[in-house]
Amino acid sequence: MTPTAAWTELQTRLAEINTISQIASNLSWDQQVMMPTGGGADRGKQLSMLSGMSHARWNEPGLAEALDALSGNEASDLQRAAVRNTKRQHKRSTAMPKELVQAMSEARSAAFPAWAAAKESQDYPGFVPHLEKLVALTREEVAVLQEPGQDPYDVLLEPYDPGSTSASLDPMFERLGTELSSFLQAIQGKPAPGERPKGPFAIAPQQALHESLVPALGYDMERGRLDESEHPFTIGMGYGDTRITTHYYENDLLPGLGGTIHETGHGLYEQGLPKELRGTGAGQAAGMGLHESQSRFWENFIGRSRQFSEWLAPQINAHMGTSLTGPGLYAASNGVKPSLIRIFADEVTYNLHIVIRYQLERQLFSGQIEVSHLDQAWADAYEQKLGVRPAHVGEGVLQDVHWPQAYYGYFPSYTLGNLYASSLVKALEKARPQMWAEVQKGEFAGILSWLRENVHQKAHLMDAPDIVNAACGGQQDHVADFVDHIWARHGALYGVSR
Amino acid sequence: MTPTAAWTELQTRLAEINTISQIASNLSWDQQVMMPTGGGADRGKQLSMLSGMSHARWNEPGLAEALDALSGNEASDLQRAAVRNTKRQHKRSTAMPKELVQAMSEARSAAFPAWAAAKESQDYPGFVPHLEKLVALTREEVAVLQEPGQDPYDVLLEPYDPGSTSASLDPMFERLGTELSSFLQAIQGKPAPGERPKGPFAIAPQQALHESLVPALGYDMERGRLDESEHPFTIGMGYGDTRITTHYYENDLLPGLGGTIHETGHGLYEQGLPKELRGTGAGQAAGMGLHESQSRFWENFIGRSRQFSEWLAPQINAHMGTSLTGPGLYAASNGVKPSLIRIFADEVTYNLHIVIRYQLERQLFSGQIEVSHLDQAWADAYEQKLGVRPAHVGEGVLQDVHWPQAYYGYFPSYTLGNLYASSLVKALEKARPQMWAEVQKGEFAGILSWLRENVHQKAHLMDAPDIVNAACGGQQDHVADFVDHIWARHGALYGVSR
């Protein structure tokens, strides 16, 4: 096969796999947003059939042959990126013995209800056998995929954050933990800068507010939807169809707004991926960390800024009948308070939740800690880093679904997103000095346009670390950028400086 | 292959085809109800891929081998029904030359926008070449599928109404046309029995009204949804997931209510198909005519009855702030007025619209009429049967999408539904003398239970004509049953008798 023929062959096959994936995404969206409960059993069969179809296509010899023929003979950056990305996924999709895939699938299915029960009954020892099984199977998977000399944890990182390694993350997360602990010490005992608006807040006007906010940020409603679901999420199903969901709370306005702006950020990234690269192997997002940088950029860096609060407060008032001021909303959006539950954490302490999880995962997969001791290690780490200690595992090691579903290597992307976003904001402020004045007027087109050009349009032509550094004009110190932001915003609100 | 092995093989293959069909149905529902406009291009590719997958499975030799091995060796009524139904579909899915399938697909695609334009510009001659092409290709399809001695029109009927033949329909439709014309003559010049309630009507309370009405009729909302779409429809996606849609009008309450009750009738049928027969080849609906009998049963026979009006009027008033009375609603729901547009026609004249279409289709496919003369023949038939003549083809021969998309043989099912429903109501009145008293109290469980047992649970174990006659205790005269109903209801309202 000539390289040209191989490229054509590869494109045809990837386009087909991409279409199957779009179909599965639509069914999954429907399952979470629309499907009546009775549809569950058949939906399981439908998704399982699609998964089998995709698996079969990844395992067709023609795909491997096209990849081999092209590899080393690529004629462009696009081809190089597509080959690199596709090889990674091809290996994950074909190397695993069938028995191991089956065993992991069964272990996950068994663990899910056991986790829910153990979380409810605060019974860690009862869940340990499941977790040990999942970790053991994950180690087997790592052994299959591991390259000579590669750190096992890096094998886990790759599907979520290709291009990141534990060698780069270890020092970043260590330093970030120290810096954020210093900041927490500096504000200790200081009063919160503001109070959150008090409910109840009717759902219908909240919906109207959110529905006006999403397109105002630049989201194209002709190529997307906003709906409600139990857990907010974003799903991209091709250039013309990216859907976001949110969740409205009667007793609090801000979590719903934060969630909607967060998902809008994810959605803007998906909508901004270049049309012509879709399904080529290089047209998808460059990983979860970069994806999260886009959601956090809008949710935290823009959405919790003083200028955005000035713009948003009168709109909230118009819809909700409240009497918020810009400064009041700004202060209410930026309280910092160590707490036990990650998903409710503030912009600062959130990252300590992630540092703790990352460091425990590292110890777990380097054999420094046993599954059976994870609950104690967790509690100790929270006490040391956040000054709070869970009373039970339901608010401790069993709070998240990630470990009980063997998503090891996933957590770092949340904080990577914050770190990347902080560097992108710094670069944007240089490129577009008027940006904060624009935010205050509700003009987001210039900001979005910079993100489109420097991040979204790069798709997966490079790995995320390279995309962010290129966007910022060279190697950045993301931890320093993020910590600067925390001191500048939250330090000022709490009246402390470095 | 032993018959037992062949049955197992057939079941496995049909279950897989059924799952593909469920997936396609979900994508199609999404396309009509949820999808942003931008999703259209990819959605086309997704549906085309699924259609290809289904086609490939129908054409696998293993399916034909299992069918052959089982045929004549069936061990039960279920197996006999599954083989008969599956053979019909297998033939339609495999016998057609690829070139003909392709040519028809292209002709349909080309005809659709041409039809919309010709309808808009009232230009029949401009559309004739498309229609001639579609009819010619349909004739080629018929030639492929036709059994020796079979009437070509019966080949067209089969995918919509298996078990019906032109030999049975010709006299029924002829007699029905005559009987309804007599009825129209009898009420000519009489004033309408009532006036429709005047709008505008806000959409939100209409929605609340409809959302309470649908489950009140017995629709299981744990296995279904009600949404809004441009054109109301029902889609079954397995035992646990049947979705209906409706359309709300600001200026008129009744069309929306009629539409919702109609789709609820379709939905009740889909929800009532037996769980254990799904995907066996005999667990689906027994054709469009029987499907339509279920929607018309609820929309017209129950929904426009005096007793239902008594029950419904106070509920409309509670939601909409109107002051309807039962008799007022009953009269308003049952006006009879010859008109040009089928989809807006009343319960009586609707069937004359169908008789006209059926008789023209018969003449077209027996070669008694040319495509180029269809517009004049249409106008003449309307003048003769309904006393109205279209001023142009937009309100005449080009009003419906069916012929411009080559759905020949489809129209009769609408009237078959009315005819079947009238016989079912008669049988129900005998089996359940209290039924109308129940309707007046809003108690529909007993009625639904009778339909479940006598119609829904039969799925496609028999063809529709046999199901209806068995439900009614023997061969029925559907035309007489329907005409009796018209005289009893509308004759009384107009103060005329036979």
Q: What is the pLDDT of residue B447?
A: 98
Dihedral over alpha carbons B215, B219, B221, B226 (to 10 degrees): -80
pLDDT band at residue A147 using 50, 70 and 90 as cut-offs: very high
Angle between helices B288-296 and B254-272 (to 10 degrees): 130
Instruction: Indicate whether A137 belongs to any domain.
Output: no
Query: Nearest Cα to A33, choosing from A197, A234, A209?
Result: A234
For residue A401, the domain's CATH number is 1.10.1370.30
Q: What's the mean pLDDT in A134-154?
A: 97
Å from B118 to nearest chain A CA?
A: 29
The closest CB to that of B36, out of A34, A40, A221, belongs to A221
Mean residue pLDDT across chain A? 97
Q: Are residues B342 and B485 in the same domain?
A: yes
Instruction: Indicate whether A213 belongs to any domain.
Output: yes
Q: What is the pLDDT of residue A447?
A: 98
Contacts of A222 in chain B (CB under 8 A): 36-38
Instruction: Indicate whether A109 belongs to any domain.
Output: no
Instruction: Indicate whether A31 belongs to any domain.
Output: yes
Q: Distance between alpha carbon A181 and the CA centroid of its chain, in Å?
A: 23
Contacts of B38 in chain A (CB under 8 A): 220, 222-224, 239-241
Q: Are residues A61 and A176 in the same domain?
A: no
Q: Are residues B128 and B196 in the same domain?
A: no
Dihedral over alpha carbons A150, A155, A161, A166 (to 10 degrees): -50
Q: Are residues B353 and B407 in the same domain?
A: yes
Q: Tell me the pLDDT tens digit for each residue of B308-336.
A: 999 999 999 999 999 999 999 999 999 99
Tokens of A494: 């709490």
Catalytic residue, from A179, A263, A299, A310: name it. A263
Instruction: Indicate whether A367 belongs to any domain.
Output: yes
pLDDT band at residue B207 using 50, 70 and 90 as cut-offs: very high
Calpha distance A248→A235 (Å, rounded): 19
pLDDT band at residue B266 using 50, 70 and 90 as cut-offs: very high
Mean residue pLDDT across chain B? 97
Beta pairing, strands A242-246 & B242-246: unpaired
Q: How many domains does chain A have?
A: 2
Q: Which residue of A has its CA nearest to B19?
A: A46
Q: Are residues A332 and A189 in the same domain?
A: yes
**Which of A70, A95, A120 is the endpoint of a domain?**
A95
Q: What is the pLDDT of residue B435?
A: 98
**Which of A49, A74, A95 is the endpoint of a domain?**
A95
Instruction: Indicate whether A294 belongs to any domain.
Output: yes
Q: What's the mean pLDDT in A25-40?
A: 95
- Which residue range(s) make up the domain with A64? 1-95
Q: Tell me the pLDDT tens digit for each residue of B443-468.
A: 999 999 999 999 999 999 999 999 99
Q: What is the pLDDT of residue B203?
A: 96
Contact (CB, 8 A) for B443 and B323 = no
Q: Are residues B120 and B169 in the same domain?
A: no
Lookup result for tokens 């029949």 = B124
Q: Which residue of A has its CA nearest to B35?
A: A241
Q: What's the mean pLDDT in A436-453?
A: 98
Q: Are residues B137 and B204 in the same domain?
A: no
Q: Are residues A212 and A350 in the same domain?
A: yes
Instruction: Indicate whether A471 belongs to any domain.
Output: yes
Q: Are residues A337 and A208 in the same domain?
A: yes
Instruction: Indicate whether A424 belongs to any domain.
Output: yes
Q: What is the pLDDT of residue B211?
A: 98
Q: What's the mean pLDDT in B429-445?
A: 98
Q: Are residues B135 and B206 in the same domain?
A: no
Q: What is the pLDDT of residue B389?
A: 98
What is the 3-state secondary structure of chain A? Answer: CCHHHHHHHHHHHHHHHHHHHHHHHHHHHHHHHCCCHHHHHHHHHHHHHHHHHHHHHHCCHHHHHHHHHHCCCCCCHHHHHHHHHHHHHHHHHHCCCHHHHHHHHHHHHHHHHHHHHHHHHCCHHHHHHHHHHHHHHHHHHHHHHCCCCCCHHHHHHCCCCCCCCHHHHHHHHHHHHHHHHHHHHHHCCCCCCCCCCCCCCCHHHHHHHHHHHHHHCCCCHHHEEEEECCCCCEEECCCCCEEEEECCCCCCCHHHHHHHHHHHHHHHHHHHCCHHHCCCCCCCCCCHHHHHHHHHHHHHHHCCCHHHHHHHHHHHHHHHCCCCCHHHHHHHCCCCCCCCCHHHCCCCCHHHHHHHHHHHHHHHHCCCCCHHHHHHHHHHHHHHHHCCCCCCHHHCCCCCCCHHHCCCCCCHHHHHHHHHHHHHHHHHHHHCCCHHHHHHHCCCHHHHHHHHHHCHHHCCCCCHHHHHHHHCCCCCCHHHHHHHHHHHHHHHHHCCCC
Q: Tell me the pLDDT tens digit for each residue of B80-115.
A: 999 999 999 999 999 999 999 999 999 999 999 999
Write the single-letter amino acid at A359: Q
Calculate the alpha carbon distances from B150 to B84, B145, B147, B365, B462 in Å: 17, 10, 5, 13, 21
Test mutation, B17, B18, B23, B225, chain A, max A CBs within 10 A: B23
CB contact under 8 A, B36 and A239: no
Calpha distance B385→B181 (Å, rounded): 6
Query: Nearest Cα to B63, choosing from B123, B102, B17?
Result: B17
Å from B223 to nearest chain A CA?
A: 5
Q: What is the pLDDT of residue A192?
A: 93
Other Cβ atoms less than 10 A from the Cβ of B359: the count is 18
Contact (CB, 8 A) for B36 and A222 = yes
What ipTM does the predicted assembly reach? 0.92
pLDDT band at residue A232 using 50, 70 and 90 as cut-offs: very high
Q: Which residue of B has its CA nearest to A271?
A: B38
Contacts of B41 in chain A (CB under 8 A): 238, 240
Other Cβ atoms less than 10 A from the Cβ of A479: the count is 23
Q: Are residues A167 and A280 in the same domain?
A: yes
Q: Are residues B421 and B447 in the same domain?
A: yes
**Which of A54, A73, A95 is the endpoint of a domain?**
A95
